[in-house]
């Protein structure tokens, strides 16, 4: 019995695996935080893209009014916006093109682009998807 007691004390005082356990706990938090930062950055990039293509679409429609040699319609503007939306699948965007009152010079065109961004790591953390929206209005030339 005297040999057993020192072995138990020796085992309880052994600290050889403590650093590994501490690293495992902190590394999981660090990796999760790193991916969350990347995910948030990706969302901001896509938000900027949505706003940019809305502006590009409004400009495309504004300089191609009814008095030009090749006026555009809503489908052509939608196609133009989808082609320029780098990193966003065309099927995942909702694009609305409206002229007020029409596409004659002096009227206005509004392009509204929406995209439902679903977080990658944020979804695991319980964040709800975010609607990214870009709107631009320009006067038709």
DSSP state of 70: S
**Which residues lie closer than 8 Å to 36 by C-beta, 6 or more apart?**
121, 122, 125
Domain layout of the chain by residue ranges: 14-139
Q: Where are the beta strands (DSSP E) in 20-92?
A: none
Token readout for 78 is 């939608």
Taking the C-alpha atoms of residue 73 and residue 67, their distance in angstroms, rounded to an integer, is 13
Residue 4's pLDDT is what?
64
Instruction: Decide: 136 and 54 in contact? Cβ < 8 Å.
Output: yes
Residues (pLDDT < 70) of the chain are: 1-4
């Amino acid at each position: 019995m005297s040999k057993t007691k020192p072995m138990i004390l020796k085992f309880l005082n052994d600290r050889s695996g403590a650093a590994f356990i501490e690293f495992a706990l902190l590394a999981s938090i660090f990796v999760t935080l790193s991916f969350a930062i990347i995910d948030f950055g990706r969302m901001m990039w896509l938000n900027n893209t949505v706003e940019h293509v809305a502006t590009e679409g409004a400009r495309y429609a504004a300089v191609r009014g009814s008095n030009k040699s090749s006026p555009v319609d809503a489908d052509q503007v939608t196609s133009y916006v989808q082609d320029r939306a780098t990193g966003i699948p065309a099927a995942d965007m909702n694009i609305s093109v409206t002229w007020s009152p029409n596409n004659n010079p002096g009227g206005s065109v509004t392009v509204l682009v929406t995209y439902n961004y679903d977080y990658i790591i944020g979804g695991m953390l319980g964040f709800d998807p975010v609607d990214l929206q870009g709107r631009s209005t320009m006067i038709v030339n």
